[in-house]
Amino acid sequence: MGKVVLKAELRRSWRTKVIIGCGALAELPEVLNELSPPNTLIVTDASLKHTWLPRVAALAREAGTRVKEITVGEGERVKDVETLVTLWRAMADAELTRKSVVVAVGGGAVLDVAGFAAATYMRGCRLVNIPSTLLAQADAAVGGKTGVNVAGKNTVGAFHHADAVIIDPSLLNTLPNSAFRAGLAEVIKHAVIEGEAGVRRVESRLASVLRRDPKALEEVIAGSVALKLRVVERDYVESGVRVVLNFGHTVGHALERVTNYGLSHGEAVAIGLRVESLMATNLLGFPEAEASRITSLLRRSGLPVRVPGVSAEEVVSAAHLDKKFVDGEPRLPLPRRLGDFEIVTLDWEGFGECLRNALRRCA
Ligand SMILES: NC(=O)c1ccc[n+]([C@@H]2O[C@H](COP(=O)([O-])OP(=O)(O)OC[C@H]3O[C@@H](n4cnc5c(N)ncnc54)[C@H](O)[C@@H]3O)[C@@H](O)[C@H]2O)c1
Ligand SMILES: [Zn+2]
């Protein structure tokens, strides 16, 4: 019997509208009017139930869509299968269809699980993200990655872009300092990927950002989001350039594991950014002066830059579990210059040696 082989190149085009600014939350009715959903489910985190949820719900109702709300738990725990099942049931009870909108309001954890529920319910309904932590505003709310933790972080997920993202820095007013600082690690990562202009933008506004000055926050978050969107536009499913967004995360993730998550993600990434910058000075001639600028930004942000009493061997064995390594070889994006990255592949021995040197300088 002959066989028929058909080939097609199938691309999904996606449009995401991102609105950034203090007071941007007030745009929600207009955003929903443009999407004109028959009904809307707001998903939020318990910590926002009495602060931002009532306002978001009132604004959504102004758009004339039927609105239901669901509050899930709090923090990383919500990124599990139980929450997902709860959300799917709530979506069915609210009679959502593919034309309906899920409005996810919260930090990266809620956005990830609500986004995955939206990606999978009826094979995908529409999504509006309203991030409420600095990490989520500067990073997690855009880029389309959604998912939950099953026997490891982010092991089950899907790419599903939000139709709109409303980033209102005034939501950060209620955010505790430690969570706020954690977000700065990703802001600094994006600035280094962007290059000199990005690093200068953060350097000159950091003091105001730490005071949570609205204008400075808007400018720094907008810069961060614009960079991430530029990278994601070029590489939707992380087959190429998107890997640069992993800067600081090879060592960061390994440190999270070694310390049994005693370090927050932001803290681990901060140390990871410093260690990997030093690895880059060694491997690619990244200027020492630029590595010092990165360390100084992290320090000024109140983030840790020293490795907490762990050996290079422990970090190397934790790095073995990195799911981003292709064929099990260590592979990580490192800067040659600010804004100019190379994806470096090493063998385990070379990786261990370079890491040991860098860790020694951060003890
Ligand atoms: N999808 C992506 O591209 C992407 C990118 C980076 C990180 N992430 C994920 O994001 C998660 C981390 O996100 P996070 O740092 O926002 O943590 P988070 O969502 O756990 O929120 C941190 C804490 O702050 C509380 N909170 C949220 N907003 C608040 C507010 N306005 N006021 C007071 N408290 C508030 C939360 O209840 C929680 O306890 C991780 O699971 C990570 O994997 C996803
Ligand atoms: Zn991160």
What is the distance in A from the centroid of ligand 2 to the CA of 10?
Answer: 30
pTM of this prediction?
A: 0.94
List average pLDDT for each run of 10 residues in the chain, which is 363 residues long: 78 84 96 96 94 96 95 92 98 97 97 98 97 97 95 90 96 94 97 98 98 96 95 72 92 92 92 97 97 98 91 87 76 96 92 92 87
Contact 146, 119 (CB under 8 A): yes
Q: Are 274 and 303 in contact (CB under 8 A)?
A: no
d(C-alpha 329, C-alpha 10), whole Å:
30
Average per-residue pLDDT for the chain:
93
- Measured distance CA(291)–CA(156) in Å, rounded: 35
Mutate to test the pocket of ligand 1, among 18, 50, 71, 112 (most ligand atoms within 8 A of CB): 112
- Give dist(CA 331, CA 324) in Å, integer: 8
What's the pLDDT at 310? 86
* pLDDT score at 128: 98
pLDDT of the residue at 239: 64
Cα–Cα distance measured from residue 259 to residue 13, given in angstroms and rounded to the nearest whole number: 41
In terms of Cα–Cα distance, which of 220, 29, 222, 49 is closest to 128? Answer: 29
In tens, the pLDDT along 13-41 reads 778 999 999 999 999 999 999 999 999 99
Task: Please tell me the distance between residue 23's alpha carbon and the centre of ligand 1 in angstroms.
Answer: 21
Closest atom, ligand 1, to C-alpha of 172: 31
3-state secondary structure 84-127: HHHHHHHHHHCCCCCCCEEEEEECHHHHHHHHHHHHHHHHCCEE
- In the reported structure, the alpha carbon of residue 21 is separated from the centroid of ligand 1 by a whole-number distance in angstroms of 19
Helix, strand, coil percentages for the chain (3-state, nearest 5): 55, 15, 30
Helix or strand (DSSP H, E) at 358 = helix 348-361
For residue range 162-206, list pLDDT tens digits in order: 999 999 999 999 999 999 999 999 999 999 999 999 999 999 999
Joined tokens for residue 338: 């600010």
Distances, alpha carbon 201 to alpha carbons 152, 206, 209, 290, in Å: 35, 8, 11, 15
Closest CA to 117 of 154, 90, 151: 90
Residues with CB under 6 A from ligand 1: 45, 47-48, 74-76, 79, 106-110, 112, 132-133, 135-136, 139-140, 143, 145, 154, 171, 174-175, 179, 182
* Burial tier of 164 (Cβ tally within 10 Å: 0-12, 13-18, 19+): buried
Domains of the chain are 17-174 (3.40.50.1970), 238-361 (1.20.1090.10)
Distances in whole angstroms, Cα of residue 337 to Cα of each of 155, 232, 288, 291: 32, 21, 10, 10
Structure confidence at residue 26 (pLDDT)? 97
Which residues, other chains included, contact 5 with Cβ-Cβ below 8 Å and sequence gap of 6+? none
What separation in Å is there between the alpha carbon of 253 and the centre of ligand 2?
9
User: What b/e string do you get for 200-211 counting C-beta neighbours within 10 Å, with b at 16 or more?
Assistant: ebbeebbeebbe
Whole-number pLDDT of residue 1: 64
Please tell me the predicted confidence (pLDDT) of residue 325.
73
DSSP letter (8 states) at residue 361? H
Length of the chain: 363
Residue nearest atom 44 of ligand 1, based on CA coordinates: 140
